[in-house]
Chain A
Amino acid sequence: MIPGTFDYFRPRSVAEATKFLHKSKNASVLAGGHSLLPMMKLRVAAPSALVDLAGIAALRGIKKVGGNIVIGAMTTQHEVLASALIAKHVPLLHEAAQLIADPQVRYVGTLGGNVANGDPGNDMPAVMMALDATYKITGPTKRRAVKARVFYKGLYETALKSGEIVTAIEIPVPGKHGFAYEKLKRKIGDYATAGAAVVLTMKAGKVSACAIALTNLGATPLLADAAAKALVGQAPDDKAIGAAVAAARAIMDPANDTRGTPEYRKSVGGIYVERAIRCAIAAAAG
């Protein structure tokens, strides 16, 4: 559990950070470090340098800009939990942050690190997919924005290119909606055995809009599009919910690990999707 040698760089601006990242051969961005540092201690990751974003004030903070909530990438999970803006406008995020690890981790772990790492076990990616968030990205030469729903390419593989940093997360404030994040975990601090995020709107007793996303049930976080479609335009009865659950299960491809066999995780994954849907419906109707 001792890392190899590496250089440490603490830039004061995003420009400085991307410049360094660009010219360095094998540098890694350091946010909260809860995923990266253990990997380095195991010598699974051996970056030549760490570019610590903690000194860049512009990367912190939560604000409302027009119809969007914008969260700086270095905002900690604790700050998300403590934010009245988040609680008011994106309560799903508040609910999910509570289920991440433990207080000590949440004081240091960041939202940007959680979404940019590409670990299917992280909770925030599915939440961002359900909320249709956009990641603001700065590279050495230009800026761009990528939707969370198309950001995740494979296990630890994302749309981020060499030298790029996720600087902020932009979430369109949903109208009146119901939401839920249901997560099964073995203990405090564990990644999900299965997790499901649901955002939906009800109109005249029918589901008018819906998004469902899944945590740790595949190599990437999964947007369960067909599952959401199975509900939209329907009265949310057992049949419609059953169809949505079946559609969600159909895209699950969880790993076989100590959390259980893929068969178990798909079975329980479906149950957690169902719980999240029912919970969101109740909230939307209420």
Chain B
Amino acid sequence: MNDMSPNKAEREAKLEGMGCKRKRVEDARFTQGKGNYVDDIKLPGMLFGDFVRSPHAHARIKGINIKKAMKVPGVLAVLTATELKGVNLAWMPTLAGDVQMVLADGKVLFQNQEVAFVVATDRYAAADGVEAVEVDYEALPVLVDPFQAMVKGAPVLREDIKDKTEGAHGKRKHYNHIFEWTVGDKDLTDAAFRKADVTIKELISYHRTHPSPLETCQAVASFDKIKGELTVWGTFQAPHVIRTVASLISTIPEHKIHVISPDVGGGFGNKVGAYPGYICAIVASIVTGKPVKWVEDRIENLTATSFARDYHMTAEIAATKEGKVQGLRVHVLADHGAFDACADPSKWPAGFFNIVTGSYDFPVAHVAVDGVYTNKAPGGVAYRCSFRVTEAAYCIERAMDILAQKLKMDPAELRMKNFIRREQFPYQSALGWEYDSGDYHTAMKQAMEKIDYQRLRAEQKRKQADFKAGKTREIMGIGVSFFTEIVGAGPSRNCDILGIAMFDSCEIRVHPTGSAIARVGTKSTGQGHETTWAQIIATEIGIPSADVMVEEGNTDTAPYGLGTYGSRSTPVAGAAIAMAARKIKAKAQMIAAYMLEVHEDDLQFDIDGFRVKGLPEKFKSMKEIAWAAYHSVPPGMEPGLEAVSYYDPPNMTYPFGAYFCVMDIDVDTGVYKIKRFYALDDCGTRINPMIIEGQVHGGLTEAFAIAMGQEIRYDAGGNVLTGSFMDFFMPTAVETPHWETDHTVTPSPHHPIGAKGVGESPNVGGVPAFSNAVNDAFGFLGSTHIQMPHDYWRNWEAAKSLGLVK
């Protein structure tokens, strides 16, 4: 046991620790159809709820008649706002400091808004009941265009707050105005623009889309009247926060609420907030005394629960004629829909949009964001990105291209000229962030060499000449994107959700035989935490990752955590795991010292145990130490080998990357072909390269979808035109391009293992790469900016507006 065989490499390999392409342990059940999702939960006597939804985008409710519905066989109850008022739940607080109707109270404000909740003995009876509820609507003028929200005479949407001049984030300028958020030095920025050789200004819109996880939002609520306890199984990315919110609004004491996130089939930000379906299922369970299940269908998911983006950004850059950026000014008109239900940290109404200076050394910058109400679904969630970071990255990456075009400079060269240099880190940005680490020039150079950038530009020149000579109807675009993310919310000094600091947590218990269970405050929705968390522990304390069980999502057993979104799991919980493991390791060292009869300072950790310095044959494995922890601890020491860590990160982390997209577009049909897509990611220390690659593939596929066609589109009457996968672009394997992945490693200096988080980078960096490719293709024909999404017919419209269509 204590000899040197097996050798070091074999012992290390056996751990399957950090850096190992360990196969995902959760896939054993997922690939065999043995996952346990909310809809798999079946309780005795369980009832089913279904919503009556508004066909109107804006209407007054003159009356709701439930008589016929109550006669439908199987229907037991119909909840409306009237019933919910009895328990003070007709409205609920949102994470953004607003309130939201749970069920329509007097009027409806968006199409498919929840109007009544029908509870029945089975799913079919509930749907029949929904059909039988009669609602008398009086249509009101509809406000769809956010640019019309604050004009004089615009329809009054929120009558409940129309006279309030003060909102959750300061002064309101208009009855449809939610907040104005500003950051940066306006005077200095204006001065930079006055002095600038060159300026650009462009309205860059990031259209409304939706996270659309494979599994829609759903919950089962079960209230035990005898014990006074409520159990809620739900598709929650942040189960502890749901428990606290449920306690605050229901007045059930928090210790009597059990919130459980079982397996969750994708979140992408869609499952962070609280929805009327959860509240109604809970109320219905309390009213009926039976468990109540609510499961959203795809149309409901796309049209009612949490859109993303809808940011309309007017970006301006001031620069010298040599292409050195001197200032950035951005105004954002943010369409929040009918209620401000953004899932941002509470003090950040526009999320971390002030990362908009990106990877560039802007001496000054100023940002102002105006949030407005419209007759659209509420939300504004971070769809596979940290809060509003993808909007910011798109804005700056598009604007840099526009500047390059104006300066007649290569967009990659312009970026190189303006990157924050390696020696400037930690870097204070003009908009208030401290970037932890980065080496942008190295990453960009590596990426440009790998794709042979100069050769691609030469090929593009030839194709442009051919196009002008009438030899081809295809144009070629090269999209450059160099993004910097801000993830890992976050430090308690500036990040909280409803007052709860955004720390995260881990509890590890090492069992006598040397295996362990780790419980973490995050909740995997597909990221593979059961695999990667065990790898961190394996490397930190020398127990094979196969011997570490990871458990998340049960608020009774897991330590309090803020959940999984904004790429925060690895930066925050990953750190908590390492810190808890180090507490275990410290105690193990004391036990080993006692066992080996040396001072603990005479020991050194060696892969899977402790060895006496200078006496390599004197060794105790973690397995032996674990047994001793329950058998013969040093005198005065408590037995056991457990630790808990709550980690409050000192800073965010700043992953970055260089993405390139090569695309051909047929101007006559608008049909595009993605020829190449190369993604270099730097997420600091890499825990599991295979999972990273999978994450990058998934995120790039979403970025492809968003940039090239995926949108939630409304007509002028506020009707959703893209309410199913027929029209909401969800690419299949056939449409999805081939991804080339690459990496550099610049560890985070403040994170215990140097990891930065990666899951969202490809979405954040991918969208501008695709959009820049389209814009780059059309650029030589005189266009400066074409709005997303770039689907076939819009590409054709772009070609037509340039006079290219015959």
B166 within 8 A of A: no
On whether A190 and B805 interact (CB within 8 A), knowing A1-B298, A184-B669, A258-B721, the answer reads no
For A267, the chain B residues whose CB sits under 8 A away are 668, 796, 805
Partner of B131, one of A43, A190, A257, A260: A43
B20 within 8 A of A: no
Partner of B792, one of A5, A186, A188, A189: A186
Closest to A263 in B: B800
Please state if B793 and A189 are interface contacts (CB–CB under 8 Å).
no
Please state if A189 and B732 are interface contacts (CB–CB under 8 Å).
yes
For A265, the chain B residues whose CB sits under 8 A away are 793
Closest approach, in angstroms, between the C-beta of B802 and any C-beta of chain A? 15
In the assembled complex, the Cα of A186 lies from the Cα of B708 at a distance in Å of 10
Partner of B734, one of A1, A188, A271: A188
Partner of A258, one of B126, B669, B713: B713
In the assembled complex, the Cα of A191 lies from the Cα of B668 at a distance in Å of 20
On whether A268 and B732 interact (CB within 8 A), knowing A184-B671, A186-B791, A258-B722, the answer reads no
In the assembled complex, the Cα of A198 lies from the Cα of B731 at a distance in Å of 29
Closest approach, in angstroms, between the C-beta of A40 and any C-beta of chain B? 11
Interface residues of A in 1-18 (CB under 8 A from B): 1-5
Please state if B669 and A5 are interface contacts (CB–CB under 8 Å).
no
Closest approach, in angstroms, between the C-beta of B118 and any C-beta of chain A? 11
Please state if B669 and A186 are interface contacts (CB–CB under 8 Å).
no
For B732, the chain A residues whose CB sits under 8 A away are 102, 187-189
Please state if A268 and B669 are interface contacts (CB–CB under 8 Å).
yes
In the assembled complex, the Cα of A265 lies from the Cα of B792 at a distance in Å of 10
Closest approach, in angstroms, between the C-beta of B199 and any C-beta of chain A? 35
For B727, the chain A residues whose CB sits under 8 A away are 257-258
**B234-252 interface bits toward A, Cβ cutoff 8 Å, 1 = contact, 0 = none:** 0000000000000000000
Closest approach, in angstroms, between the C-beta of B197 and any C-beta of chain A? 41
**B45-73 interface bits toward A, Cβ cutoff 8 Å, 1 = contact, 0 = none:** 00000100000000000000000000000
Please state if A268 and B796 are interface contacts (CB–CB under 8 Å).
yes
Interface residues of A in 89-109 (CB under 8 A from B): 102
Please state if A193 and B127 are interface contacts (CB–CB under 8 Å).
no
In the assembled complex, the Cα of A193 lies from the Cα of B793 at a distance in Å of 10
For A5, the chain B residues whose CB sits under 8 A away are 124, 128
Closest approach, in angstroms, between the C-beta of B111 and any C-beta of chain A? 15
Please state if B668 and A271 are interface contacts (CB–CB under 8 Å).
yes
Closest to A121 in B: B726
Partner of A188, one of B671, B721, B722, B735: B735
Please state if B297 and A1 are interface contacts (CB–CB under 8 Å).
yes
Partner of A4, one of B128, B668, B709, B793: B128
**B interface bracket (residues with beta carbon within 8 Å of A):** 20 to 34
On whether A187 and B734 interact (CB within 8 A), knowing A1-B299, A258-B727, A267-B796, the answer reads yes
In the assembled complex, the Cα of A271 lies from the Cα of B805 at a distance in Å of 12
| Secondary structure of the A contact surface, majority rule | loop
B21 within 8 A of A: no
A26 within 8 A of B: no
For B298, the chain A residues whose CB sits under 8 A away are 1
A261 within 8 A of B: yes
For B668, the chain A residues whose CB sits under 8 A away are 267-268, 271
In the assembled complex, the Cα of A261 lies from the Cα of B732 at a distance in Å of 24
For B796, the chain A residues whose CB sits under 8 A away are 260, 264, 267-268
Please state if A261 and B297 are interface contacts (CB–CB under 8 Å).
no
Interface residues of B in 621-655 (CB under 8 A from A): none
In the assembled complex, the Cα of A5 lies from the Cα of B709 at a distance in Å of 37
In the assembled complex, the Cα of A257 lies from the Cα of B715 at a distance in Å of 11
For A258, the chain B residues whose CB sits under 8 A away are 713, 721-722, 727
Interface residues of A in 231-286 (CB under 8 A from B): 257-261, 264-265, 267-268, 271
B435 within 8 A of A: no
Partner of A187, one of B123, B124, B669, B735: B735
B797 within 8 A of A: yes
For A271, the chain B residues whose CB sits under 8 A away are 668-669
Closest approach, in angstroms, between the C-beta of A75 and any C-beta of chain B? 25
B311 within 8 A of A: no
Interface residues of B in 248-303 (CB under 8 A from A): 297-299
On whether A190 and B124 interact (CB within 8 A), knowing A1-B297, A184-B792, A264-B797, the answer reads no
Residue of A1, A5, A187, A268 contacting most chain B CB atoms (<10 Å): A187
In the assembled complex, the Cα of A193 lies from the Cα of B732 at a distance in Å of 18
In the assembled complex, the Cα of A43 lies from the Cα of B299 at a distance in Å of 13
Closest approach, in angstroms, between the C-beta of A137 and any C-beta of chain B? 30
Partner of B709, one of A43, A186, A191, A264: A186
For A189, the chain B residues whose CB sits under 8 A away are 732
Please state if B128 and A264 are interface contacts (CB–CB under 8 Å).
no
Please state if A4 and B669 are interface contacts (CB–CB under 8 Å).
no
B729 within 8 A of A: yes
Closest approach, in angstroms, between the C-beta of B740 and any C-beta of chain A? 22
Please state if A190 and B793 are interface contacts (CB–CB under 8 Å).
no
On whether A260 and B669 interact (CB within 8 A), knowing A4-B128, A187-B735, the answer reads no
In the assembled complex, the Cα of A228 lies from the Cα of B734 at a distance in Å of 34
For A261, the chain B residues whose CB sits under 8 A away are 793, 797
In the assembled complex, the Cα of A187 lies from the Cα of B791 at a distance in Å of 11
In the assembled complex, the Cα of A1 lies from the Cα of B131 at a distance in Å of 12
Closest to B130 in A: A2
**B668-696 interface bits toward A, Cβ cutoff 8 Å, 1 = contact, 0 = none:** 11110000000000000000000000000
For B713, the chain A residues whose CB sits under 8 A away are 258
Interface residues of B in 696-751 (CB under 8 A from A): 709, 713, 721-722, 726-727, 729-732, 734-735
For B128, the chain A residues whose CB sits under 8 A away are 4-5
On whether A2 and B123 interact (CB within 8 A), knowing A187-B734, A258-B727, the answer reads yes
In the assembled complex, the Cα of A153 lies from the Cα of B345 at a distance in Å of 57
Please state if B729 and A186 are interface contacts (CB–CB under 8 Å).
yes
In the assembled complex, the Cα of A5 lies from the Cα of B123 at a distance in Å of 12
For A2, the chain B residues whose CB sits under 8 A away are 50, 123-124, 126-127
For B123, the chain A residues whose CB sits under 8 A away are 2
**B784-806 interface bits toward A, Cβ cutoff 8 Å, 1 = contact, 0 = none:** 00000001110011000000010
In the assembled complex, the Cα of A268 lies from the Cα of B735 at a distance in Å of 20
Closest to A42 in B: B299
Please state if A193 and B792 are interface contacts (CB–CB under 8 Å).
yes
Closest approach, in angstroms, between the C-beta of A101 and any C-beta of chain B? 11
For A268, the chain B residues whose CB sits under 8 A away are 668-670, 792-793, 796
Please state if B793 and A260 are interface contacts (CB–CB under 8 Å).
yes
Cβ contacts A to B, 21 pairs, < 8 Å? A1-B298, A2-B124, A4-B127, A102-B732, A184-B792, A187-B731, A187-B735, A188-B732, A188-B734, A190-B726, A191-B726, A258-B727, A259-B793, A260-B796, A261-B797, A264-B796, A264-B797, A268-B668, A268-B670, A268-B796, A271-B669
Known: A43-B131, A268-B668. 18 other contacts (CB 8 A): A1-B298, A2-B50, A2-B123, A2-B126, A2-B127, A4-B131, A184-B671, A184-B792, A187-B732, A193-B793, A258-B727, A260-B793, A260-B796, A264-B670, A264-B796, A267-B668, A268-B670, A268-B792
| Leading 5 A-B pairs by shortest Cβ distance | A260-B793, A2-B127, A1-B297, A258-B727, A264-B793
